[in-house]
Chains A and B, each alone.
Chain A
Amino acid sequence: MKRSELLSRILVVAGMLLAVGAPLIFWTRTPLIHARMADTGGWNPDILQAEVGKPLELHFTSDDVVHGFAVGQLDMEAVDVEPGKVTDVTLTFDKPGTYTFYCTRWCGVNHWRMRGTIEVSGLDVDSETTPTVPLYVTLGIDIDAPHEANAIPENRPSAVRGQQLAASLDISQFSSPDFYRANSPYQIFEGLNSTDLTDTEKWDVVAYIWQSNTTVDALANGRELYAQNCVACHGESGEGNGVFADDLAAAGEASMQSMNGSMDMAMQTPADFTDTSCMLGASLALLEGKILRGGMGTGMPMWGSIFTEKQIQDLIAYLYSFQFEYQR
């Protein structure tokens, strides 16, 4: 064989090997976490391992639409995961446990299913920490039971008017944080029956009590959390008419799976936070339970592994603002 022919063959083979080998080598050496809409796979992989105190470097890419990444119970800014691009995230965990990571962008009707877990091993620095029992469990509240108020205000209760009325009343028993968390607005309204106030005035006082148990910052935080996580189903105005509400209803039972088959897992229309009777009959503990546990197959996700207690309280404070007129 001529030298030129041999050299040509070597060049052709080398070129082919380069073209095949280079992508394969780089591909196998770049472990990416792929984000897809839940219907086509969600996160892959969806179980990650980490150690306390050791930085965990993650490289995300989206295979379809824009997703977001955040880890529940962790103080971190959500990051966007864009199609065809790579987003790098470094996490360091202080405590061992199982953390939930989730999509923060409304990527589809099953967006809320886009979750994964990070199993963090190692020693707990703060060994004094004990898990808290949710208040609705302590109080024995059945969060699936109907909770309508027997009476509702004719107009939107005003915290400003309520504050003026409360100045001449002893409402200390109603306004303590524990009482506020364990009782519904309607229960307070009933508790004010011993006063000379009219029904409208009583509701105004209730509005004031609810306002005094939150802050402007907490409401702002709640509004932000609501916009990021709730508005797509529950709607900007809280009426349960978000952009995905119709899709959820249309998806129905076919989109759900359970141990007992699909029949007991039918999707439901998102809750309407402007429904006065329901909201004024719900205590913070009850709403907290619903958010912590989720709707058990109704389409309402379980947020317990994602939101902190403070975040849930801020969020609920904002939900009540659909009923009460607070001081601006």
Chain B
Amino acid sequence: MEKIELTRNPFIKTALKSRYPQLAVFIVMLVGYIFAILAGLVGTPVGSHNFSIVFVWIAWWAILILVAVPFFGRGWCAVCPIPLPGEWLQRGAILAPPDKKPKWLNRRWPRALRNIWLQNISFLLLALFSSVLLTTPNITGIVLAAMLFAAIGLSIVFERRSFCRYLCPVGGFIGLYSQTAPLELRIKDKKVCAACEGKPCYNGSAEGYGCPWDVFPGGLTKNSYCGLCMECIRTCPFDNIAVNARPFSADLAKPSARMDEAFKAFIMLGSAMIYAGVLLGPWGTLKDAAYNVGTTAWFIYAAVFLSVIFIVMPSFFALCVTRFENIDRFKKRFATLSTALIPLGLMFWVAFSLSFVLTNASYILASLSDPLGLGWNLFGTANLAWQPMLTSILAPGQTLALVGGLIWSGRTAQKAAKEATVSPVPVIVYCFIVTLAMLWLLI
């Protein structure tokens, strides 16, 4: 399938080039985000009736993992309100660049941290506390506020969107899975970029800001670190930036060989499996251990969680790298082969999310009418009883997602194995075993 340049459509192009549509969405999202923080802090502590829990962990999560990431990659990052206040401070303007730029520290992000290890850690920190985070509104409120203030703080000290690029716990996995999305932002002609003086897409101009994600669009080969902010479309003087529709998982044909990204794949795969066991499984002791943060049981749970992700799963996967010449080549092959886990991990999360989203979606309407639990009934839906939805299609849907993910990973493994000059069979067997385990956990 050929790429389709969506920005050829004048309506799409105008909408992306103008700052106003994006700003309108930003404002709505920011209002919702801050409302979620306040709802978490002052609303009912009953999670199932609090806007912060219902809209963040059910509605937003469902949209993110079932729609935004699979179909739009970093589409969420394009409208995420977290960077807006900090970026306003950093730039001194909300719209086009001002005549006079504010004098913040504007430092470069430390070289040693220019990877996604911090995002891996921030995700794991939330993951270890997830049972409490997902059910306790004030904890959710505090975490959301902390992310907003962290983004503001980092905008003052560092250049561009350092929080989004290097720290955001969500941004890390969105970037990983955005490689599978059928949407990309790319340049049209390399020669135009090579000849371009000043590189305004990276350095900024009077038309717009230099790439907030610290990416030179001319060198983009995968979606991972392009936040789809559309700033380069506004700054490119040669109209050389396009948004394209493309086949799924196009980026995975050129596997990454980075260990931080490889471990992100393990973190996401392992977390989906552990979540399926803890949140959806029938094991009360496991749930108690995950929920009772600070107890001995929780420390054991955390140790097991981290061991599964950092030791057990990677160790078995290492057996798939059947050729060993030296440690550097081994690591490169290991990271390259781990690309096969990306589609599988995404579909694990789709299958897992289907379960709790369909189970809890009825809370959305109730919470919409009474978001703070103050006894309102704004839309007449406050007293709707909890009712699992589409239960008849849940198990088939999950099975389809997992089997589809396995097939998708198998095809990706063939390409990655070719790149790593090893056999794809061990990787496919590995994917098959973890898929069976996930099927057992979910169904």
Contact = CB atoms under 8 A, between A and B. Distances in A.
Interface of A: 1-2, 4-5, 8-9, 11-12, 15-16, 18-20, 22-24, 26-27, 30, 32, 59, 61-64, 83-86, 88
Contacts of B95: 2, 4-5, 8
19 contacts: A2-B95, A4-B95, A5-B93, A8-B95, A9-B88, A9-B94, A12-B88, A19-B34, A22-B35, A23-B35, A23-B372, A24-B38, A26-B374, A63-B44, A64-B45, A84-B50, A85-B49, A85-B383, A86-B370
Contacts of B374: 26-27, 30, 32, 86
Interface of B: 23, 26-28, 30-35, 38-39, 42-46, 48-50, 84-85, 88, 93-96, 98, 370, 372-375, 382-383
Contacts of B375: 30, 32, 59, 61, 85-86, 88
Contacts of B372: 23, 26-27
A85 B373 contact: yes
Contact of B44 (A4, A11, A15, A61): A61
Closest 3 interchain pairs by CB?
A84-B49, A86-B375, A84-B46
Given A19-B38, A26-B374, 15 more contacts: A5-B95, A8-B95, A9-B94, A12-B30, A15-B31, A19-B31, A20-B38, A23-B372, A27-B374, A61-B375, A83-B44, A85-B375, A85-B382, A86-B370, A86-B373
Contacts of A11: 23, 27
B35 A19 contact: yes
Contact of B30 (A1, A16, A23, A26): A16
Nearest to A18: B31
Contacts of A5: 93-96, 98
Contacts, number: 92
B21 to A, nearest CB: 13
Given A23-B38, A24-B42, A61 B373 contact: yes
B39 A23 contact: yes
A316 B93 CA distance: 77
A269 B331 CA distance: 65
Most buried by B among A1, A19, A83: A19
A8 B27 CA distance: 9
B5 to A, nearest CB: 29
Contacts of A12: 26-27, 30, 84-85, 88, 94
Contacts of B26: 12
Given A22-B35, A59-B375, A15 B42 contact: no
A16 B34 contact: yes
B361 to A, nearest CB: 16
B94 A15 contact: no
Given A8-B95, A83-B49, A23 B27 contact: no
A303 to B, nearest CB: 30
A19 B23 contact: no
A19 B52 CA distance: 13
Contacts of B43: 23, 27
A27 B44 contact: no
A9 B26 CA distance: 12
Nearest to B377: A86
Nearest to B29: A15
Contacts of B48: 83-84
